[in-house]
Amino acid sequence: MRHKYGRVVSKDKKIYHDSWCPYAKNIKSDNKWQTSNFRELRKQGYKPCSFCQRPPGIAYYYRTIEKLDCMFDKFSNSICVKTSIGFWKAVYGKEDRLWRLYHMNSFGRDHFDPDLNPKELVKGRFHRQKDVAPQESFESILNYILAHDKNKRIIQEDYRKLPKSSKQDRKYYYAAKNRKKRHDINKVFKLFDKIKMEGESIHNGRNDENLHAEKGGKTKGSQRI
C-alpha cells in the first residue's frame, strides 16, 4: 500500500516521508502532496525523513530489515503495523500525546487473516496490549512490537528457550509455560473423548450421522469435569 501512494511531502520543510510516518501525519493539507516521482523530489532539493526514510532511523531499519508493513489510518488516528505473526495498532491520543498499543493475533481467538489487506484488517477486533504503558515515542512502540513477536516466535518453537534474565522476561516465561500446560491438558481430554466415542460407536454400531450428533454432547460433558 505504501508503494502505491509513494511518499508524502512537506513542502515548507522540504522533507519526504512514508505515508504512515508519525512525523508526516501533522502536515497540513495545503502544505502536503503525495508523489512517487523520486527524481523530481531530489531535483527540487527534498530530503528524506531521518526516521522513516534512511538509516539510522529506527523505522527505516525495521521496515527494510524486519519487513514490517505499516499504514497510517486517519479515521482512527493510528499507525497500523503488520508483522509476520501479528497485527498491531498504535493509537495516538491527541489530549495526552501518548501512543497506546492494540493487538490482533494471527492465531487463536480473534485471529486475523494474514492475506487480508491492512486496510481491511484495521477494522477487525483488537485487544489493548495491557503490559505496555502508553508511550511518548512511536520508536518505543516499535521496539515493543519487535520484542513481543520475537518471543512469540520462540514460544511457537519451544517456550523453554525464552530468556529469563529480567522480571518481565520471567513473567512471559511463566505465562507461556502455563499456556502450554493448559494446551497439553486439553489435548489429553480431547484424546479421551475420541477414544470413548470410537469405543461407543463400535459397540453400538452407529452410523456417522449419529456419531456426529453424539460428539457435540460428549465434548461439552468433558469440559464440566
Q: Which residues make up the interface to Zn ion (CB under 5 A)? A: 17, 21, 23, 49, 51-52
Residue with cell 482512527: 76
User: Smallest gap, in angstroms, from Cβ of residue 133 to Zn ion?
Assistant: 24
Specify the residue, 24 or 176, whose C-beta has the smaller distance to Zn ion. 24
Element containing residue 121 per DSSP (H, E): helix 118-121
Q: Which of 182, 162, 157, 181 is nearest to 172 (CA)?
A: 162
- What residue number has its CB nearest to Zn ion? 49
Q: Which of 67, 51, 75 is nearest to 145 (CA)?
A: 67
Return all residues near 218 (Cβ < 8 A) that are at least 6 apart: 193, 196, 197
User: Smallest gap, in angstroms, from Cβ of residue 45 to Zn ion?
Assistant: 17
Question: What single DSSP character describes residue 90?
Answer: E
Strand ranges in 129-223 using DSSP code E only, listed in sequence order:
none
Specify the residue, 49 or 155, whose C-beta has the smaller distance to Zn ion. 49
User: Smallest gap, in angstroms, from Cβ of residue 189 to Zn ion?
Assistant: 51
Specify the residue, 23 or 72, whose C-beta has the smaller distance to Zn ion. 23
User: Smallest gap, in angstroms, from Cβ of residue 157 to Zn ion?
Assistant: 35
Specify the residue, 9 or 155, whose C-beta has the smaller distance to Zn ion. 9
